[in-house]
A and B are shown apart, each in its own frame.
Chain A
Amino acid sequence: MPKKVVSIIVFPGSNCDRDLDVAVKKHMNVKTKLVWHNDSGIKYQEMIFIPGGFSFGDYLRSGALAKKSPAMKEVIRLSKKGVPIIGICNGFQILTECKLLDGALIDNYKRLFICKENFVKIENNNTPFTQNIHKNVVQFPIAHAQGRFYTSEDNLKRLEDNNQIVFKYSSREGKTNKSYNPNGSMNNIAGIVNKNKNILGMMPHPERMVDKTCSNEDGLPLFLSLMN
């Protein structure tokens, strides 16, 4: 049986595309295809990953210019067909700008670029992206200046009610109060899925946590989940 192919969308200013490419190829037993943002067709449509970085230099707002790329128009079309899509960091920002995910990601509460490892509580392991994650709390790096998740109170309630909140910043023990909120995100939100649960956006970087020579392997189950 031929290997599945993951399409990774690359924008001018993406800088986690290679990390993602290496992680995915090494651990998911798939091939990858890097797709330049100007390509209007995405040949391999089994899974789409949108990497971190600073697409278009974060001009206007993070992800605002990327959402108008020809490749993203295709991503939006394919999302409606149920294709699994993951946006990490800038990828999450792009997915919210495209309205494929609720909310917006705005300047961190203290306007600092935060680069550190943070504990993240798994709020929902009943999604195609998290079904293989058996820990309650994992440790992922975060690296962003615009990661403060914001949405209206009504939408927040809807996200909670539909179990769309997948990851929350937490303590090592899984406490999710303000003390463990690095960027001021509403309700400590670090990652959400859409209502159909085929699109995941997350600020932390699981692709940087897959190789025990330089990190833990907490990111691995997320990628393995997609192999089921």
Chain B
Amino acid sequence: MIYRVYINFKKGILDPEAEAIKRTIDNMGYKTIKKISKGKFFDIEISSSKNTLKDLEKISSDLLSNPIIENFKIIKK
């Protein structure tokens, strides 16, 4: 089965890349965009076991994200 792990910055952490993307969208003429945040995701194919979610949570908090600056969310595809 495949799970998707989403990672994004915690609230309040300035992401200069997302800011630059927003400025470009503003320059494209769109006046309704209020804020943009950027993230990334990983699709992980994993053999099912009773520890699947526990393992994915550990991998996400221990490696894929840095809990000081990022949140993660796991979704089954």
Contacts and interface: CB of A to CB of B under 8 A. Distances in A.
B16 interface: yes
A133 interface: no
Contacts of A110: 16
B17 A106 contact: no
Contact of B68 (A60, A107, A151): A151
Q: How large is the interface on B (under 10, 10 to 19, 20 to 34, 35 or more residues)?
A: 10 to 19
Please classify the interface of chain A as helix (H, G, I), strand (E, B), loop, or mixed, using the class held by over half of its residues: loop
Interface residues of A, number: 18
B1 interface: no
Contacts of A116: none
A150 B12 CA distance: 11
Contacts of A64: 63, 66
A62 B16 CA distance: 17
A172 B64 CA distance: 40
B63 A104 contact: no
Interface of B: 13-17, 20, 63-64, 66, 68-69
